[in-house]
């Protein structure tokens, strides 16, 4: 009987962890949307990669920002 209780506790812990991760992902996508409204514009991955290659991710005029999680990246250029 103890083994059944132990498994239930593990499953409950996993469910809580998944719930927290989903909430965190939603919060990060909301902050990405807010960044777009505060003087940032979406750019293509190729533009971000070109700026990274030329070491121009941060200049006195603006900054390139990569947001989001793996597979769902968003690339932004924010004016200073």
Q: Domain-by-domain residue ranges, the chain?
A: 2-79
> Is residue 71 left, alpha or beta, with left meaning phi > 0 and alpha meaning psi from -120 to 50?
left
C-alpha span between 45 and 24 (Å, rounded): 24
User: Which pLDDT score is estimated for 39?
Assistant: 86
Instruction: Report whether pLDDT(22) > 70.
Output: no
User: Which pLDDT score is estimated for 80?
Assistant: 82
pLDDT digits (tens, 9 = 90+) for 38-62: 789 999 999 999 999 999 999 999 9
Q: Cα dist. 61→3, 15, 23, 58, 76 in Å?
A: 61, 45, 34, 8, 14
| Averaged pLDDT, 2-21 | 56
- Percent of the chain as helix, strand, coil, to the nearest 5: 55, 20, 25
User: Which pLDDT score is estimated for 38?
Assistant: 79
């Amino acid at each position: 009987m103890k083994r059944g209780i132990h498994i239930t506790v593990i499953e409950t812990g996993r469910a809580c962890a998944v719930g927290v991760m989903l909430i965190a992902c939603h919060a990060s996508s909301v902050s990405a949307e807010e960044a777009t409204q505060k003087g940032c514009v979406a750019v293509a991955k190729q533009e971000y990669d070109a700026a990274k290659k030329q070491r121009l991710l941060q200049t006195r005029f603006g900054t390139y920002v990569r947001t989001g999680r793996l597979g769902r990246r968003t690339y932004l250029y924010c004016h200073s």
